[in-house]
Amino acid sequence: MTPADRHDYLGEGLLEQHLAATPWRQASAWLEAARERAAAEGDVPEPTAMSVATVDAAGRPDVRTVLMRFFDPSGPGFVTNLESAKGRQLAGNAGIAASLTWPAMYRAVRFRGTAHRLPEEQVRDYFGHRPWGSRVSAWASRQSQVIEGREGLEAAYARYAAQWPDRGGVDDVPVPPFWGGYRITCDEVEFWAGRRDRLHDRLVFVRAGEGDLDDPSAWRVERRQP
């Protein structure tokens, strides 16, 4: 490694007195700041890109990146093919971890908890507002399954596109029976803020009782060493 490979983290950090009262309020503030930075500077692409980690049947971790499509006091949520690797793994072990990372801002938010299936009504409502091409591709792709070459994927897409042409309606393409989503019920939410000399700030909301992400009585805060 050369000196040019090293980069000091020049973030603002995060002190306890500046931390919001709940993980929902803190995460919402950081997410909004990331969206504003993406629009103004262009160096925070896909601010809702979220790494999601699950565990397979052999106990081995697996991670991939999805888009956080929902975020409210009940937790972050995402959509997926339920027969994908993550869907199969969550069916066997609902434990899950996820993170939003914005390197240009020296910030990250980490969620740990349990995955719960989204209600079908919420899935249908969201699916209808996806672009027509994305709805078609949800049928064409048997996510995580092996396929011989790209031609098979494109042929499947063409087949479904012909079956359900774009007429501009939310009901043009039905929701696949194998498609849905998950909400993360959090036990921990960590806010990581990069600092010089690797003396980063890590403030963690740890569940202390019943309640959602915006219930102050449900959480206690602890600082962890970087």
Catalytic positions, please?
198
Long-range contacts of residues 202-209, Cβ cutoff 8 Å, at least 24 apart: 202/226, 203/14, 203/16, 203/19, 205/22, 205/23, 205/26
Q: How far apart are CA 127 and CA 170, in angstroms?
A: 8
Q: How far apart are CA 99 and CA 146, in angstroms?
A: 27
φ/ψ region of 17 (left if φ > 0, alpha if ψ in -120 to 50, else beta) reads alpha
Q: How far apart are CA 125 and CA 97, in angstroms?
A: 26
